[in-house]
Amino acid sequence: MRTQRPDIPEDGNPRRQFLKGCAAAGAAVAAGAVSTTAEARETYQRPPEALGLLYDATLCIGCKACVAACKRANDNPAEFSTADKLWDTPLDTSGYTFNIIKMYRSGTMTTKDDETNGYAFMKTSCMHCADPSCVSACPVTAMVKDPTTGIVAYDPQACVGCRYCVVACPFGIPKYQYDSPTGKIGKCELCRHRHKDGHYSACAEVCPTGATLYGRTSDLLSEAKRRLALQPGSVTTYPRGNLSGGADQSYEGYVGNYKQHVYGETEYGGTQVLKLSAVDFEKVGMPYLSPKSSASTSETIQHTLYGGLLMPFAVLGAMTYVAKRNVHHEDDAPADEPGKE
């Protein structure tokens, strides 16, 4: 008959007790370290000359010219979601699709930009956050925010494929190319590789209605607020292309019944891509986010725990202590155990 060793609790075994002890010790160290932190750093702000986009869903006709132009500008292959594979039909952004137009549907879909029995469009692409979590989470600076333009750029040569940026983004934008043995992250970079040739974001260049507008974020925000102040149904001038320079491509059109909010002005600390809509933003797929970036909080916790290797040394010490408590010499074993007389 096996006798319960007095040093092992009835409801456990040495391994379980060891793991529980390590977890408890690590949690205690983490809690103690975080509790000593005064407060998170301030959320970073957009650079004064930040570049971005203004997307006006009331002007969008769902032609997806922006999707095709983005593919061409970035040399991305077609993605198929239908059996015939005749057309590029991505259902969402991916490692090869950086920009897509999604559709809101309600009931009979009779009226555009109506929440009841209507439909609406919404552009999905990188928001180029003022305080991006993807940049904060990247351990090798493969994600970098340009200090002048504010564009969140990706360096495939520095990337180690950890995909922390994929998890960190609240908009679900960075995507990994899983089908490639040397896969990399795919996301909108506002066509920064085309700037040297005098071009700007391809999606804004080809948009026939000006639903996607390029320019300095400060200019785009002023334009968005101008539209919100107009009377629905009145006639106004809508610019197209590059709001902050370039040829005049403006035209006259009717003002939509906007929701009185510029999405991206304050969300997540502010973004350089701004949006207007006549349908509730959450209904068209834009998440509700507080005005504070989570990067400001997570970085504070990380720096507190790992500054001076505090967390690794504390956990190692806790594991050593728990291990010593659970190590027993053979001479201490009860006499009735196998191998003992």
| DSSP structure string for 125-173 | S---BSS-HHHHH-TTS-EEE-TTT--EEE-TTT--S--HHHHH-TT--
CB-based burial of residue 253 (10 Å sphere; 0-12 exposed, 13-18 middle, 19+ buried)?
A: middle
Are 37 and 103 part of one and the same domain?
no
Look at residues 291, 311, 326 and tell me which one is the last residue of a structural domain: 291
- Measured between alpha carbons, how far is residue 275 from residues 61, 193, 210, 262 in Å? 15, 24, 13, 6
Has residue 247 got a pLDDT over 60? yes
Q: How would residue 132 be classed by pLDDT, with cut points 50, 70 and 90?
A: very high
CATH of the domain at 231: 3.30.70.20
Confidence (pLDDT) at 233: 97
Closest Cα to residue 96, out of 193, 182, 189, 185?
185
CB-based burial of residue 309 (10 Å sphere; 0-12 exposed, 13-18 middle, 19+ buried)?
A: exposed
Are 58 and 151 part of one and the same domain?
yes
Q: Phi and psi of 104, rounded to 5°? A: -95, 135
Question: How far, in Å, CA of 312 to CA of 97, rounded?
Answer: 39
Are 218 and 168 part of one and the same domain?
yes
Are 189 and 323 part of one and the same domain?
no
Q: How would residue 24 be classed by pLDDT, with cut points 50, 70 and 90?
A: low
Q: How would residue 319 be classed by pLDDT, with cut points 50, 70 and 90?
A: confident
Confidence (pLDDT) at 315: 63
Q: Is 118 in contact with 111 (CB distance < 8 Å)?
A: yes
Question: How far, in Å, CA of 96 to CA of 72, rounded?
Answer: 11
Average pLDDT across the chain, whole number: 86
Are 141 and 233 part of one and the same domain?
yes
Could you tell me which residues come within 8 angstroms of residue 88 by beta carbon, excluding any fewer than 6 positions away?
A: 67, 68, 71, 78, 79, 80
Q: Phi and psi of 137, rounded to 5°? A: -80, -25
Has residue 66 got a pLDDT over 50? yes
Q: What is the pLDDT of residues 169-178, one digit of tens each?
A: 999 999 999 9
The 10 Å Cβ neighbour count of residue 305 is: 18
Confidence (pLDDT) at 171: 97
Question: How far, in Å, CA of 175 to CA of 165, rounded?
Answer: 9
Q: How would residue 281 be classed by pLDDT, with cut points 50, 70 and 90?
A: very high
Q: What is the pLDDT of residues 286-297, one digit of tens each?
A: 999 999 998 888
Q: How would residue 331 be classed by pLDDT, with cut points 50, 70 and 90?
A: low
Residue range 29-55: average pLDDT?
76
Instruction: Please report, in angstroms and rounded to a whole number, the separation of the first and last CA atoms in the chain.
Output: 14
Q: Of the given ranges (6-15, 125-134, 151-160, 230-239), which has the lowest mean pLDDT? A: 6-15
Are 38 and 146 part of one and the same domain?
no
Are 145 and 179 part of one and the same domain?
yes
Confidence (pLDDT) at 268: 96
User: 246 or 324: which carries more pLDDT confidence?
Assistant: 246
Confidence (pLDDT) at 33: 47
Has residue 11 got a pLDDT over 60? no
Q: Which helix (H) or strand (E) holds 9?
A: none
Domain residues for the domain of 21 are 1-43+293-341
Residue range 335-340: average pLDDT?
54
User: 186 or 333: which carries more pLDDT confidence?
Assistant: 186
Are 322 and 178 part of one and the same domain?
no
Are 59 and 180 part of one and the same domain?
yes
Q: What is the pLDDT of residues 149-200, one digit of tens each?
A: 999 999 999 999 999 999 999 999 999 999 988 889 999 999 999 999 999 9
- Radius of gyration of the CA atoms of the chain, in A: 27
Are 31 and 83 part of one and the same domain?
no
Has residue 1 got a pLDDT over 60? no
Q: Of the given ranges (12-21, 278-287, 293-302, 311-320), which has the lowest mean pLDDT? A: 12-21
43 secondary structure, DSSP code: P
Per the structure, how many domains does the chain have? Answer: 2
What CA dihedral angle connects 256, 259, 265 and 268, to 10 degrees? -140
Are 247 and 123 part of one and the same domain?
yes
Confidence (pLDDT) at 258: 98
State pTM to two decimals.
Answer: 0.79
Are 233 and 287 part of one and the same domain?
yes
Has residue 32 got a pLDDT over 80? no
User: 199 or 340: which carries more pLDDT confidence?
Assistant: 199
